[in-house]
Amino acid sequence: GSLQSYQYLPLAIDVAAAIHYFAHEALVHLDIKPSNIIMGAPAKLIDLSVMRTTTDAAALSYPIGTDAYLAPEQADPPHTGEPGVASDVWGLGSTLFHAVAGYRPFPDGDPESADLVERFPQVALRAAELPDDVPDEVAKLIIAMLEKRPANRPRPAEVADTLQPVLEALPRGRLAGFKVR
């Protein structure tokens, strides 16, 4: 990968840590996407405008979030599932996929469509293929984060724990612009 390609690792670890912290406080962000993540050391997750308690998120009956990055269970709750911490893991997975691949995991939906799958292709489709140069353990993690069923996705701490050794194994020169903690 290029010099840029590994900058997503500290960013993803920081955002996973934020999701883990929110979960511990019984909160979910519900709108994790590239424009809500500020690069830096540490990366910052912004825009808490749609944040809910886990109880309120689970009780949602309409979609909240940004169509292209929201989890299937956020598309048509409660029919497609209950939004929660796993929805934030999906949002980070979608964002990570975009960061490493340069394209999103699912095609654009039609925001005007009344048809669930036309508006939210991620409800029915499998994620696109990741490029071959994505390290195996990163690719496996991203695909797990995009599992249709929330219960099958890794917990936020597992995301950080999986990425940390990948980050630590990199030659220091790869981390241009990031302080290594």
- The rounded distance, in Å, linking the Cα atoms of 137 and 2 is 18
How far is Cα of residue 120 from the mean position of the Cα atoms in its chain?
16
Query: For residue 39, which phi and psi values (nearest 5 degrees)?
Result: -60, 145
31 is catalytic: yes
CB of 8 within 8 A of CB of 100?
yes
63-91: b or e for each residue (b if 16 or more CB lie within 10 Å)? bbbbbbbbbbbbbbbeebbbbbbbbbbbb
Nearest CA among 70, 135, 68 for reference residue 100: 135
How far is Cα of residue 119 from the mean position of the Cα atoms in its chain?
19
Catalytic entry in 31, 88, 108, 110: 31
Distances (CA, A) of 60 to 23, 50, 73: 17, 12, 10
- Point out the residues that are catalytic: 31
